Amino acid sequence: MSMNKMFKKVLAVVAAGAMTMGMAMPTFAADPGKTTEAWITKTYNTEAGKAEKFSFTAEQVKTGTGIITTDAAVTMPEISFTDTETGKTSRRGKITFPTYPEAGKYEYTVKEIQTADPAVVNGDHEKMIMSGAEYTMDVYVTDGATGTEISNIVVNKVKDDAGQTETGKVDIGNTDTNTFNFTNTYVQEAGTGTDPTDPDPTYNKFGSLNVSKKIVNANGTTTTPDDEFAFTATFVFPDGTDANTLGGIKAANGDTVTSVEGGTYTFKLKANENMKFTGVPVGTTITVKESAAKNYKGSAEITINGTKLTPVAETSYNRELTAVNSQKLGQKQNTVDVTNTYNDVPVTGIIMNTLPYVLMIALCGVALIAFVGFKRRRLQK
């Protein structure tokens, strides 16, 4: 056998042996489906800008098959928000695990502590909606080279934020895809001021939102006709709230406005009447429109969150007026004062309010002419 052939056979044997050993050796690469740390997410909804701190509990489960019952407490993070953060804000915190005393499976029930810091006492004008979510967190521990170590953490949802049954594995990583989440909402009634426990003096008069009606003649004089004017108010509620969050939206007479649950409410006003809404959350986006009315031209002065906005006015009669378009109600005064100008000038050009006086003058003129004519005829005789 030549040296070349022998060398090739040796190489083939070595290669085959290497492949066999490679297949027999254990794999030490990390399992991409496992994780050894866990992050929790807090989502906080508020349009009022209220600073709060939220806490959580992880209660170790001590009963069940295959569960280690030796004490091994985990430390849950506290997650805080400032009063400058409004809207929907999310923040994550890392869970700290202990050095486990032995290998095996440890199980925890994770919930939110049902009192924020500072505490909010739910009342007529404010409310903190705490999360009723619940999760089961399983921590798998193995013996490592220098002691026990976490080999995997699995978290499954048990209840949603409303406390209703919901199941499924959740993402516990430190990314925006994290679904190990608890959502809270702080809601304050619009128009109550910066301290809803002691509402501003204007609240009793204007409530959360007040829409008023006034009518003037084209010559600027006031009038109080018996005509009714149709309005539509549209409400888009902030995240985590609806028409019933603060006990239901109520109209001027104190009745609950059930029809606003769909987001739209229609009402009618006469001259010098108003519609005062209460129970509307801060941050609710409103649009207020007045339907077109024959011989009337609409205008409006608007105050939102205590600030006067640019007045709006229609340039023609018998046209719909959009008094407010997509404005967010604030903590302070929110009012929409609508004025309709009545077209009291007919095609003759005579102002209807002065017509009686014109007729009186005309009658006097006719009488004078008749008297002069009568006297002239007598003199001619």
In this predicted structure, what is the pLDDT of residue 13?
Answer: 46
Where b means 16+ CB within 10 Å and e means fewer, 315-333 reads eebeeebebbeebbbbbbb
Instruction: Provide the token pair at 43.
Output: 């989502």
Alpha-carbon separation of residue 157 from 68, 184, 222 (angstroms): 21, 17, 64
- Count CA atoms closer than 13 A to 128's CA, side-chain side: 18
In this predicted structure, what is the pLDDT of residue 251?
Answer: 81
What DSSP designation does 30 have? -
Instruction: Provide the token pair at 142.
Output: 């193995």
In this predicted structure, what is the pLDDT of residue 223?
Answer: 74
How many other CB atoms are found less than 10 A from the CB of residue 365? 10
Which is it for the CA torsion 139, 145, 146, 147, positive or negative?
positive
What is the radius of gyration, based on Cα positions, of the chain?
A: 38
DSSP three-state, residue 338:
strand
Asked if residue 329 lies in contact with residue 287, where contact means CB atoms within 8 angstroms, the answer is: no
Q: Which residue has the tokens 């001619």?
A: 380
Instruction: Name the strand (E) or helix (H) holding 54.
Output: strand 52-54
Nearest C-alpha neighbor of 216 from the set 312, 297, 313: 297
Instruction: Provide the token pair at 317.
Output: 């009669």
Q: Which residue has the tokens 């929110």?
A: 334
Q: In the beta sheet, which residues pair with residue 342?
A: 217, 296
DSSP three-state, residue 149:
strand
Which amino acid is residue 215, in one-letter code? I
Domains and CATH numbers, the chain: 33-188 (2.60.40.3050), 203-342 (2.60.40.1140)
Q: Would you give per-residue pLDDT tens digits along the chain (381 residues)? A: 454 555 455 445 444 444 444 443 333 334 556 899 999 999 999 999 999 999 999 999 999 899 999 999 999 999 999 999 999 999 999 999 999 999 999 999 999 999 999 999 999 999 999 999 999 999 999 999 999 999 999 999 999 999 999 999 999 999 999 999 999 999 999 999 999 999 999 999 999 999 999 999 887 777 777 899 999 999 999 999 999 999 988 887 666 676 665 688 899 999 999 999 999 999 999 999 999 999 999 999 999 999 999 999 999 999 999 999 999 999 999 999 999 999 876 544 444 455 555 566 767 666 667 655 655 665 555
- φ/ψ of 72, rounded to 5, equals -155, 85
Alpha-carbon separation of residue 122 from 50, 126, 197 (angstroms): 14, 6, 10
Contacts of residue 187, Cβ cutoff 8 Å, sequence gap at least 6? 46, 47, 48, 126, 127, 129, 238, 240, 241, 245, 246, 281, 282
Tell the burial category of 190 from Cβ atoms under 10 Å away from its Cβ (0-12, 13-18, 19+): buried
In this predicted structure, what is the pLDDT of residue 368?
Answer: 66
